[in-house]
Structure 1
Amino acid sequence: MKRKIIAVASGVALTPALVVVLAGTASAHGYVNSPPSRQAQCAQNTVQCGGVKYEPQSVEGRQGQRTCNGGNSAFAELNDDSKGWTATKVGTSVNFTWTFTARHRTTNWEYYIGGSRVAVVSGNNAQPPATVSHTVNLAGHTGRQKVLAVWNIADTGNAFYACVDLQVG
């Protein structure tokens, strides 16, 4: 009888910790960390933002969106081009580094400028490592540019979105 009470008490004590661990991994995903995306700038306090400051990896929406917030109204401030985003100075070749906190099987990563796709990188339907870098050629684009980076997930109909402000040239 004493063993049963200890077993039940242990289970009750561990349940809240298990719920926190599972909920934490379910809400975490990925974003462009370098050059700093808009959500990375929020997390680093470079620009004042709302809740995305605390969860830059969570800018998720249905695949096919072409907005910085991926259609997620909770992160609408990412679409505001007048917010004072810092543009990183780069040449015509840029290395984008994604940081993942939950690594989903990946269809591909896409990069857009002004609605035109400038690069696509296959994910081979595989789970990526904790960080992934892609070199993207931006030849033909100069001056201030906003790059929309999209991580298309293979195991759901969703994608993760990040806009990166650059000064190309």
Structure 2
Amino acid sequence: MMEFLSSDTRHKYLFMRQSPSFLLFLFLILSRTVGAAEGPSHHHQGMMEMDVADERISLGLPEPMRRHQLANMRSHLEAVREIIADLAAGRFDHAAEVAHARLGLTPEMQRMCNMFRNEEFRAHGLAFHHQADAMAEIFRKGKLDDALNALGETLDHCVQCHQRFRQ
């Protein structure tokens, strides 16, 4: 049945099938993130909310800056995906490197955050990047429960910011 899968993909598939805790981890992360992003009214109004105007604060970014910011956020999401794979495979040191290099408050990221005029948005961004650096240090300790909690706290920053702001 799995002949069509590469050996790497087959290994990941077998790992996930044999690891109920990994599946529970994915469920908790996704349900926590999706549930927080949807907000309490989602459960009561369902699809009707699609017709409601977006009341989040617009950053009013010029088109080139908006595209750049969206590309950064997609890169952050790819980094989170890589971190999850690293944690699932027990590669805590690599997860820490990814967290710091791609999500942490590097000098380049500090400069980009400081370019935003909206102080609240800038504060959210800086808090996220500081949390990512703290998360990297927790990963280095090699304790999966602590690592997952740190990842959840970091993703909470994403959810809070996306609830409040739009491009």
TM-score range, shorter chain: under 0.3
Rg (Cα) greater in structure? 1
Q: Which has the higher helix share?
A: 2
Q: Greater strand percent: which structure?
A: 1
- TM-score scaled by length of structure 2: 0.27
For normalisation by structure 1, the TM-score amounts to 0.27
